[in-house]
Every structure is written in C-alpha cells, then in structure tokens.
Amino acid sequence: MREEWSFSELLAAGWSEADLEWERLSEEALSRLADGRADEARSNFAAALRLARDAFKNGDPRLAASLSNQAAAVASVDGHAKAAQIRAVAVQAWAGCDGWVEKMTAPRTARSSLFHLRMERLHRPAYEERWRVKGRELLANVRAEIGSADMLELVGPHEAASRLARWHRERPVTLSDPRKLMAAVILMGARGKLAEPRKYEASAVR
C-alpha cells in the first residue's frame, strides 16, 4: 500500500525525502525478491546503500541494514570473499546502533480524546521508554542472527513475501524514529547462513 506524504508533513516529522526513498528502495527490493527477480533486487539494495551512506549518520540502523543486504547480494554473485568484508562492516554497524536507539523519540499519536492526549503528555517518559525497550529487543534479535552467521545470503521468494507482508502489517502510521528502526529490521533481504560442516574422509578418522 503506497503512502503519500507532503513536504510539510515530512518537515514537521523531522524526516527528509531520503528517509522515504530508502524505504521505497528497500521495499521494492523485497518485492522483487518475492517475484524471483534477484538481479533487480540487487540493484535496489545497491542504490539503498549509496543513499544510506550519503544521507544517514553512523549508528543509523538503516545503514547497518543496507550493509547486510549488500553483503548478501554480493555473496549471491561474486562468492563470499568480498561479501565477508562487507558483512564484517555490517556487524560493526549493527553493534554501533545502541546510541541511536537510546536517543530514539517515540511517535506522538493523534487521538480524538483530549484526556488521552493529556495522559500521553503526562506519561511521556514511560511511553518513550517502552519504545526503546522494543528497539533494544529488535537490535538484539538482528545481532544474534547476523553476528552468529558465517555468511549472509538473500532470502528466498517466500520469505521475502512474508517480510513484505509483515512490513505492511506492522509499519507505524506516523513518521517517527521507531518506524525507521522497524524498516531497518523488517525490510532486510538478508539472512544468516552457517557454513556447511566439514566432511572428513574415513581414512582420516582412524
């Protein structure tokens, strides 16, 4: 489901066109993976990484996600030597996201009830901390998969479609920091893969 945001809405939320463009490129990449069009998905991932490097600061989880996607994309065509270097940078990028999450600002939800608006303002610190707790959990899950894997690979069509459906289902309706984090985690087209165990010849085990 495509969204339409005006420039004034972006400005009010503290967002830029680059923020939305990164989402579009990453979402389109997953859509192409879901359709079995891996070559086109790789082009999208590369474009998203170029944008992330230009527009996002170190510590931004979307940069870490783009590095992960690029590592998986490179591994699918050039083998794992070059991809391993990119994956190592991606692991470091994910490790550096703690500060970004701790500074994350929770979305301000529009409500019709003046009572709810007052309650949200009154309990704003607790409301924001709940989002940070969720953010820490999301980071921990990604780090566990990316950090423990021997390599990264692109997800298959079924998993790509599942991640895309999850994004459309869970995507926050407001432009906010939690949305940026959720986009980074959900719109990844990479997954961890363990190296196949070595096979020993019978003669070697005597």
The lowest-confidence range among 46-50, 89-93, 108-112 is 108-112
Give pLDDT, residue 109: 57
Residue 183 lies in a domain: yes
Tell me the mean pLDDT in the region 60-68. 97
Residue 199 lies in a domain: no
Residue 202 lies in a domain: no
Residue 158 lies in a domain: yes
Give pLDDT, residue 158: 98
The domain total for the chain is 1
Q: Which residues contact 173 (CB under 8 A, 6 or more apart)?
A: none
Residue 181 lies in a domain: yes
The lowest-confidence range among 59-73, 78-92, 154-168, 179-193 is 78-92
Residue 25 near residue 48, CB atoms below 8 Å:
yes
Which residue segment(s) compose the domain that 150 sits in?
14-193
Distance CA 74, CA 83 (A): 6
Residue 69 lies in a domain: yes
Residue 204 lies in a domain: no
pTM over 0.75: yes
Residue 1 lies in a domain: no
Give pLDDT, residue 159: 97
Tokens at residue 89, please?
A: 């940078």
State the DSSP string of the chain: ------HHHHHHHT--HHHHHHHHHHHHHHHHHHTT-HHHHHHHHHHHHHHHHHHS-TT-HHHHHHHHHHHHHHHHHH-SHHHHHHHHHHHHHHHTTHHHHHTPPPP----S-HHHHHHHHHTHHHHHHHHHHHHHHHHHHHHHHHHH-SEEEEPPHHHHHHHHHHHHHH--SS-SHHHHHHHHHHT--EEEEPPPPP---GGG--
* Count of Cβ atoms closer than 10 Å to residue 47 Cβ: 18
